[in-house]
Structure 1
Amino acid sequence: MSPADRTPAVDEAAAFERLGSVAFAESSLQSVLQAVADLTKQVVPGSVEASITLLVADRATTVVHTGQLALDLDESQYGRGYGPCLHAASSGQTVEVLDARTEARWSDYMVTAVERGSLSSLSLPLGTSENLGAGLNIYARESAAFDEDGRRIGHRFARFAGVAVANMHAYESARERADHLQTALESRAVIDQAKGILIERYKVTAEEAFTVLAQASMAGNRKLRVVAEHLVTTGELLVPTRS
């Protein structure tokens, strides 16, 4: 039976309508990607399982999957350090395996794929940033399972997943920078308050007050912010200043 003869569980247009209705602000990256994997399995004709690989700092992780077959084959590749899903995620190239029984590439992995029951696969890059590789992996139980329509559907889902990953990565990076900035501003505010207390108490300059805090920090092996917060909260300098 050819891929064109097999009826998908979900209509392609309905699937993308469901994906388009996902509220990114109210969803986690994992939940969005799980929706992509689940709908990929339902829309691509035939008996398939799907997963999404993220490659960060050369470390690969399967963040979502639709079944044990996909997870096992992903992890089999991670253990070897090579395979179609890793190649797609790292190189940005689409990799199709027509028949794992005769595929010459990654021959030892292909033996495992056949043993686990996957005779063909389609690994699609998500088009994410240079420091964040990712791929959509579709494993089929039949050989030559993907026709032109199946490949087109796979690429559409991969592009959607790539946008989700890139947007979430950018959002998390921006949030991390904002958190660091907020911490820096809060630290500066409490240090300025502590300096003000010392200026008033000892009639010293702002520079001299900062020196007192720095000396207390070094003498007590504590962060400057901790020393300042303690002074602001209790009125006590953790390490007494020398006269």
Structure 2
Amino acid sequence: MSVGEEEWARDRAWFGQDGAPAPGPLSRQFAELTRTLLDVSPTAGGVLKLVVGAAAALVPDADLVSVTLRDADGTFHTPVETDPVAERLDQVQYDHGEGPCVESARPDGPAVGWSQDLKRDPRWPVFGPAAARHGYHSVLASALLPDARPPRLSGALNIYSRTPGAFDAHAVDVALLLATHASLALAQTQAVAAAQLESAHLRRAVDSRDVIGQAKGILMQRRGISAEEAFDVLRRASQDLNVKLADLARTLASRHTEVDLPASEA
């Protein structure tokens, strides 16, 4: 259900007032969205689905909602949408390099772009009439900036309406707030994913070090050689057999009664 003008007016009037009455439906829905987005380890796809659903519910006259993401090579794609028609309208913009979705999704693009009459909008001579032929006459796109580091991956939250003149200043406010929520949640998701990858890498490194130590101990005990000599045996065997050192050490540690390695050359 869309939030109407009365709810908007009440929420905006209450904002920042001391001793204000309980928040209206718009404030409650944003608070609930914030709590959900800050849930434990959300996935990027989950974040985008939540934001797209919130846009469909919170922006009056929103008939289609999608998300544009810009890849590192500068190409665009639509990972989440409420209807396949939204993806088709996005693709027209990608193919012709025009429209508010691709403009807002560029790192140097505007924070928001919209049109109240796509059929007659001179800025997008291909996309505008194409959207109108599908029955959509208004569009609103707000920028997503989940990554401030190079290559500055970016995107846009896209909202389409069948109603001419659908999106006013209130709708722009909501779209910008939703895009901000999405950007922050995506940045958090990427940080969690990066931390998990780093943790997994460190665990693999520790595991490799441990198993190499085990293999060295086996060779030292078996051959009466030093730790340096044992490592040299492992290193040379790894090169000769074209097998990763950690994999070779793991095999020797787990099957030391069956496996032996050639002695290190002087």
TM-score, normalised on structure 2?
Answer: 0.81
Q: Describe the SS at the equivalent of 1:181.
A: helix
Residues 1:132 and 2:153 aligned together: yes
Residues 1:185 and 2:206 aligned together: yes
- Code of the aligned partner of 2:27: A
1:132-211 to structure 2, matched below 5 A, reads: 132-211=153-232
Residues 1:70 and 2:92 aligned together: no
Report what 2:20 is aligned to.
none
Question: 1:14 and 1:176 mapped to 2: Cα distance?
Answer: 35
Partners of 1:7 and 1:46 within 8 A in 2: no
- Code of the aligned partner of 1:39: A
Question: 2:155 and 2:227 mapped to 1: Cα distance?
Answer: 51
Q: 1:83 to 1:202 in 2, by over 3 A?
A: farther
Question: 1:197 and 1:81 mapped to 2: Cα distance?
Answer: 63
Cα deviation, residue 81, structure 1: 4.5
Q: Describe the SS at the equivalent of 1:169.
A: helix
Identity %: 32
Runs of 4+ with >4 A deviation: 3-8, 236-239
Q: Describe the SS at the equivalent of 1:107.
A: coil
Question: 1:77 and 1:54 mapped to 2: Cα distance?
Answer: 13
Cα deviation, residue 166, structure 1: 0.8
Partners of 2:34 and 2:181 within 8 A in 1: no
1:80-119 to structure 2, matched below 5 A, reads: 80-90=96-106, 91-93=108-110, 94-119=112-137
Cα deviation, residue 29, structure 1: 2.8
Question: 1:6 and 1:120 mapped to 2: Cα distance?
Answer: 22
Partners of 2:69 and 2:76 within 8 A in 1: yes
The aligned length equals 240
Question: 1:116 and 1:7 mapped to 2: Cα distance?
Answer: 31
Report what 2:11 is aligned to.
none
Structure 2 unaligned regions, length at least 5 = 9-23
Structure 1 unaligned regions, length at least 5 = none
Cα deviation, residue 52, structure 1: 1.6
Residues 1:29 and 2:44 aligned together: yes
Report what 2:14 is aligned to.
none
- Code of the aligned partner of 2:239: M
Q: Describe the SS at the equivalent of 1:25.
A: coil
Q: Describe the SS at the equivalent of 1:185.
A: helix
Q: 1:48 to 1:6 in 2, by over 3 A?
A: farther
Q: 1:82 to 1:185 in 2, by over 3 A?
A: farther
- Code of the aligned partner of 1:206: A
Cα deviation, residue 229, structure 1: 0.2
Cα deviation, residue 78, structure 1: 2.9
Partners of 1:44 and 1:150 within 8 A in 2: yes
Partners of 2:63 and 2:160 within 8 A in 1: yes
- Code of the aligned partner of 2:136: S
Cα deviation, residue 238, structure 1: 6.5
Cα deviation, residue 233, structure 1: 0.1
Question: 1:138 and 1:6 mapped to 2: Cα distance?
Answer: 22
